Chain A
Amino acid sequence: MPTERLLPRLFLGLLLAMLAIAGWQWQRAAPLSADLMTLVPGATEDPLLKRAEQRMQEPLNRELLVLVGHSDREQALALAQALAAHWQASGLFETVQWSLQTDLQALREQLLQGRLAMLAASDRQQLVEHPDAFVEQRVQSLFDPFTGFSLVPSQDDWLGLTGRIQNSQPKPANVALDTASGALIAEADGKHWVLLRARTLGNAFDLHLPLQVAELLAEGRLQADKTGAHLLAASGLLHAAAGQQQASREITWVGGGATVGILLLLLLAFRRWRVLLALVPVLVGMLFGSVVCVALFGQMHVMTLVLGSSLIGVAVDYPLHYLSKSWSLKPWRSWSAVRLTLPGMSLSLATSCIGYLALAFTPFPALTQIAAFSAAGLIGAYLSAVCLLPALLAGMQLQPARWPLQVAQALTRWRERLLRKVPSAVLLGLLMVFCAAGLWRLSSHNDIRQWVASPPQLLEEAQAVARITGYQPTSQFYLVRGADQQQLLERLSLLSGTLDELVDLGKLKGYMSLGQLAASPAQQAQVRQALAALPQHWQPLLNLGVPQAALQAELEQLQHLPTQTIEQVLAGPLGEAWRPLWLGNDGAGVAAIVSLQGLGDAALLRLQVEDLEGVQLVDRLGELNQLFAATQVSAAELKLLSCVLILALLVLPFGLRGALRIVALPLLAALCSLACLGWLGQPLTLFSLFGLLLVTAISVDYAILMHEHIGGAAVSLLGTLLAALTTWLSFGLLALSATPAVSNFGLAVSLGLAFSFLLAPWAAQRPGTRAAQEHA
Chain B
Amino acid sequence: MKRLLAVFGLLLVSPLALAFGLDDLQKQLSEPAVVSGPFVQEKHLRALPQPLLSKGRFVLARDHGLLWLLQTPLRQDYRIDANGIARRDPSGWQTLPNRSAGAEQNRLFFAVLQGDSSGLQRDFELALSGTAQHWQLQLTPRSLLLKQVFTRIDISGGRFVERIELSETQGDSTVLRMPESSAASALSDTERSDFAD
Residues of A in contact with B (beta carbons under 8 Å apart): 73-74, 101-102, 104-105, 139-140, 142-149, 151, 153-155, 167, 171-172, 175-182, 543-547, 550
The answer to whether B145 and A545 have CB atoms under 8 Å apart is: no
Nearest residue (CB) in A for B4 is: A145
* A153 close to B2 (CB less than 8 A): no
Whether B107 lies near A176 (C-beta < 8 A) is yes
User: Does B196 have its Cβ within 8 Å of any Cβ on chain A?
Assistant: no
A545 to B103 CA separation, bound complex (whole angstroms): 32
Query: Which bucket holds chain B's interface residue count?
Result: 35 or more
Please tell me which one of the listed residues A73, A102, A146, A172 contacts residue B145 in the complex, with CB atoms under 8 A apart.
Answer: A102
Do A145 and B78 contact each other (CB < 8 Å), given the known contacts A167-B99, A171-B100?
yes
Known contacts: A101-B144, A154-B45, A180-B143. The answer to whether A145 contacts B171 by CB under 8 A is no
Q: Considering the complex, give the chain B residue whose CB is closest to the CB of A107.
A: B148
B134 within 8 A of A: no
Give Cα A74 to B117, complex, Å: 13
Which of A140, A146, A149: most chain B CB closer than 10 A? A146
> Chain B's nearest CB lies how many Å from the CB of A173?
9
B102 touches A (CB below 8 Å): yes
Contact A544 B73 (CB under 8 A): yes
Most A C-beta atoms less than 10 A away, residue of B3, B74, B168:
B74
Q: Which of B5, B52, B107, B171 lies in contact with A146, CB distance below 8 A?
A: B5
CB pair A149–B101 under 8 Å, yes or no, is: yes
Residues of B within 8 A of A545 (CB): 48-50, 52
A149 contacts across to B, CB distance below 8 A: 1-3, 101, 149
Given contacts A179-B143, A544-B52, contact A146 B85 (CB under 8 A): yes
User: Which of B5, B49, B101 has a CB less than 8 Å from the CB of A145?
Assistant: B5
Contact B1 A74 (CB under 8 A): no
A105 surroundings in chain B (CB, below 8 A):
148
Residues in chain A near residue B143, CB distance under 8 A: 179-182
Q: Which of B81-113 contact A (CB under 8 A)?
A: 85, 87, 96, 99-105, 107-108
Cα–Cα, bound, A182→B100 (Å): 12
Docked-complex contact B52 and A143, CB < 8 angstroms? yes
Closest to B108 in A: A179
Q: Are A180 and B2 in contact (CB under 8 A)?
A: no
Given contacts A143-B73, A145-B5, A146-B78, is CB(A182)–CB(B48) below 8 Å?
no
**Residue B192 at the chain A interface, CB threshold 8 Å:** no
Chain B residues numbered 39-93 whose CB sits less than 8 Å from any CB in chain A: 41, 43, 45-50, 52, 54, 68, 70, 73-74, 76, 78, 80, 85, 87
Q: Which residue of chain B is the closest to A105 with respect to CB atoms?
A: B148
Cβ-defined partner of A144 (8 Å) among B73, B76, B170? B76
CB distance from A31 to the nearest CB of B (A): 47
B23 part of interface (Cβ distance < 8 Å): no
B146 at the A/B interface (Cβ < 8 Å)? yes
A176-B104 contact, Cβ under 8 Å, with A146-B2, A148-B99, A153-B172: yes
Interchain CB contact under 8 A, A172 and B45? no
CA distance A516 to B50 in the complex (A): 38
Distance to closest chain A CB from B140 (angstroms): 13
- A177 and B50 in contact, given A146-B80, A153-B45 (Cβ under 8 angstroms): no
Q: Does B24 contact A (CB under 8 A)?
A: no
A140 to B85, CA, bound (A): 16
Do A171 and B99 touch (CB < 8 A)?
A: yes
In whole Å, how far is A545's beta carbon from the nearest beta carbon of chain B?
A: 5
On chain B, the residues within 8 Å of A177 by CB distance are 100-101, 104, 145
When the two chains form their complex, are residues B172 and A154 in contact, meaning their CB atoms are under 8 A apart?
yes
- The answer to whether B131 has its CB under 8 Å from any CB of chain A is no
* Bound Cα distance from A185 to B143, whole angstroms: 16
B168 cross-chain contacts in A, Cβ below 8 A? 153
Q: Which of B43, B46, B145 has the most CB of A within 10 A?
A: B145
B3 CB contacts on chain A under 8 angstroms = 149
Q: List 20 A-B contacts (CB under 8 A).
A: A73-B118, A140-B74, A143-B52, A143-B54, A143-B76, A145-B1, A146-B5, A153-B45, A176-B103, A176-B104, A177-B101, A177-B104, A178-B104, A179-B108, A179-B145, A180-B146, A181-B143, A182-B144, A545-B49, A547-B47
CA distance A547 to B5 in the complex (A): 28
Residue among A102, A147, A148, A547 having the largest count of chain B Cβ atoms under 10 Å = A148
Given contacts A143-B41, A171-B99, contact A148 B48 (CB under 8 A): no
Measured CA separation A101–B101 after assembly (Å): 14
Q: Which residue of A lies closest to B43 (CB)?
A: A142
Give me 6 other A-B pairs in contact (C-beta within 8 A), A154-B47, A544-B52 excluded: A139-B74, A140-B74, A145-B78, A153-B172, A179-B123, A545-B50
Closest to B96 in A: A146
- Asked if B105 and A148 make an inter-chain contact with CB atoms under 8 angstroms apart, the answer reads yes
Residues of chain B within 8 A of A546, CB atoms compared = 48
A179 contacts B104, C-beta separation under 8 Å: yes
Within the complex, the shortest CB–CB distance from A654 to chain B, in Å, comes to 78
A178 partner residues in chain B, CB cutoff 8 A:
104
- Contacts of B41 on A, CB cut-off 8 Å? 143, 145
What's the least CB distance linking A640 to chain B, in Å?
62
Whether the Cβ atoms of A104 and B148 lie closer than 8 Å is: yes
**Distance in Å: Cβ of A106 to nearest Cβ of chain B:** 11
CB distance A179 to B146 under 8 Å? yes
A74: chain B residues within 8 A (beta carbon): 118, 122
A140 touches B76 (CB 8 A): yes
Query: Given the known A-B contacts A74-B118, A143-B54, A146-B87, are A180 and B96 also in contact in the complex, defined by CB atoms under 8 Å?
Result: no
Give chain B residues whose Cβ lies under 8 Å from the Cβ of A102.
145
**How far does the alpha carbon of A313 sit from the alpha carbon of B148 in the complex, in Å?**
71
User: Whole-angstrom distance between the alpha carbons of A180 and B119 in the complex?
Assistant: 10
Question: Do B99 and A101 touch (CB < 8 A)?
Answer: no
The CA of A149 and the CA of B118, in the complex, are separated in Å by: 22
Interchain CB contact under 8 A, B68 and A153: no
CB-nearest residue of chain B relative to A145?
Answer: B1
Alpha-carbon distance A176/B99, docked complex (angstroms): 8
Chain A proximity of B84: nearest CB distance (Å): 10
How many angstroms between the C-alpha atoms of A175 and B168 in the bound complex?
26
Query: A232 → chain B, closest Cβ, in Å?
Result: 21
Contacts of B43 in A (CB 8 A): 142, 154
- Chain A neighbourhood of B122, CB < 8 A: 74, 180-181
Distance of A101 Cα from B43 Cα, bound (Å): 29
Quick one: CB contact mask for B20-48 with A, threshold 8 Å, 1 for yes?
00000000000000000000010101111
Residues of B within 8 A of A181 (CB): 122, 143
Structural contact, B149 and A182, CB atoms closer than 8 A: no
Known: A142-B52, A177-B100, A180-B142. A148 touches B171 (CB 8 A): no
Query: In the assembled complex, how far is the CB of residue B120 from the closest CB belonging to chain A, in whole angstroms?
Result: 10
A153 near B171 (CB under 8 angstroms)? Answer: yes
Look across to chain B and name the residue whose beta carbon is closest to the beta carbon of A184.
B100
| B173 CB to nearest A CB, Å | 11
Cα-based distance from A331 to B145 in the complex (angstroms): 92
CA distance A143 to B47 in the complex (A): 17
Among A102, A151, A180, max chain B CB count under 10 A is at A180
Verify B100–A172 contact, CB threshold 8 A.
yes
- Whether A146 lies near B100 (C-beta < 8 A) is no
List of A residues within 8 angstroms of B47 by Cβ:
154-155, 547, 550
Least CB separation from B120: chain A residue: A180
Interface residues of B in 150-173 (CB under 8 A from A): 168, 170-172
Q: Are B2 and A145 in contact (CB under 8 A)?
A: yes
The reply to whether B48 and A180 contact each other, CB–CB distance below 8 Å, is: no
Q: Nearest residue in A to B5 (C-beta to C-beta)? A: A145
Query: Inside 8 A of A153's CB, which chain B residues have their CB?
Result: 45-46, 168, 170-172
Report the separation of the CA atoms of residues A147 and B96 in the bound assembly, to the nearest whole angstrom: 9
The complex places the Cα of A148 from the Cα of B3 at a distance, in Å, of 8
**How many Å from the CB of A471 to the closest CB on chain B?**
13
Closest to B149 in A: A149
The residue of chain A having its C-beta at the shortest distance from the C-beta of B148 within the complex is A104
Complex: A545 Cα to B144 Cα, angstroms: 34
Contact: A143 with B105, CB < 8 Å?
no
8 tightest A-B CB contacts, nearest first = A155-B47, A104-B148, A145-B1, A153-B170, A171-B100, A180-B122, A176-B103, A180-B143
* A-contact 0/1 string along B161-197, CB 8 Å cutoff: 0000000101110000000000000000000000000
Residues of A contacting B172 with CB < 8 Å? 153-155
